[in-house]
Amino acid sequence: MKIQTFPIPSIFRFLHLGTLSLAISSLLISCRSYNSLNVNMALNSLYTDEQPALSGNGRFLAFVSNRNGKRNILLYDLQQQQFVDIPRLNRRDAIAESPSISNNARYIVYTASDAGRPEIELYDRLTNRWQVLTLGYRGWLRNPSISADGRYIVFESGRRGQWDLEVIDRGPLIELDIVDGSSVESEILGLPSLEESN
């Protein structure tokens, strides 16, 4: 936000004392309005931001925030210093928690509770689609974490009456997150990868 300054004498030349106090009040109100409009655009805000997860390449940060009146997962690009749109990940009928992201943040894994019981879900940022990975799983689960290439997900399982660790293998036929330095945006926009450009 740019703040324009004026010499004191020039202000008094054009404004009476009552008008000056009104102008200052208006300026303070507009500054407050500016801050309230842009508070959602900043990484740290007046709202609760928690459960951070960093991508393997260190560029993306996923976390849970209550900025929009409910708990949502947000994705922030640390390089571009802006939020990344993740359509259809946050749903009105589910509470998303504990995000984890692959190397270039193509895949986001998290827990979602829509019927009082958490499920592990996977969101593909290339297709903007999500899928339930633990449909029919018996037992409580929490804290999923995805491998850099997006193939494996480890999580805490309570199905034996204690917290154990289990691994989901998504199989060899999935599209892996690119680990060669290319970004998801390159695939989305059809840009050449680093190998193709060399």
**The pLDDT of residue 178:** 74
Q: Are residues 33 and 115 in the same domain?
A: no
**Residues with pLDDT less than 50, the chain:** 1-39, 188-198
Please name the residue that has the structure tokens 């990975």: 133
Instruction: Give 117-151 pLDDT, tens digit per residue.
Output: 899 999 999 999 999 999 989 889 999 999 999 99
Q: Are residues 25 and 106 in the same domain?
A: no
Q: Are residues 13 and 69 in the same domain?
A: no
* C-beta atoms surrounding 16 within 10 Å: 9
Q: Are residues 190 and 156 in the same domain?
A: yes
**The pLDDT of residue 182:** 54
Q: Are residues 80 and 144 in the same domain?
A: yes
- 68 domain residue, yes or no: yes
* C-beta atoms surrounding 142 within 10 Å: 14
Q: Are residues 103 and 179 in the same domain?
A: yes
Closest by CA position to 64, among listed 91, 93, 99: 99
- 1 domain residue, yes or no: no
CATH code, 84: 2.120.10.30
Q: CA separation (Å) from 1 to 10, 80, 133, 150?
A: 23, 18, 44, 40
- 102 domain residue, yes or no: yes
**Overall pTM surpassing 0.85 (yes/no):** no
Q: Are residues 19 and 71 in the same domain?
A: no
* C-beta atoms surrounding 130 within 10 Å: 21
Question: Taking a C-beta distance cutoff of 8 angstroms, is the pair 126, 114 a contact?
Answer: no
- 163 domain residue, yes or no: yes
- 14 domain residue, yes or no: yes
**Helix, strand, coil shares of the chain as percentages rounded to 5?**
20, 30, 45
Q: Are residues 21 and 91 in the same domain?
A: no
* C-beta atoms surrounding 166 within 10 Å: 16
**The pLDDT of residue 116:** 77
Element (H, E) at 168: strand 164-169
**The pLDDT of residue 22:** 42
- 3 domain residue, yes or no: no
**The pLDDT of residue 179:** 62
- 191 domain residue, yes or no: yes
Q: CA separation (Å) from 24 to 14, 104, 157, 186?
A: 14, 47, 58, 48
Range of the domain at 17: 8-40
Q: Are residues 106 and 137 in the same domain?
A: yes
d(CA 157, CA 85): 31
Number of domains the chain is built from? 2
Q: Take residue 109 and report the two structure tokens written for it.
A: 């894994």
Q: Are residues 57 and 36 in the same domain?
A: no
- 12 domain residue, yes or no: yes
**The pLDDT of residue 140:** 92
Q: Are residues 35 and 68 in the same domain?
A: no
**The pLDDT of residue 59:** 96
Q: Are residues 69 and 12 in the same domain?
A: no
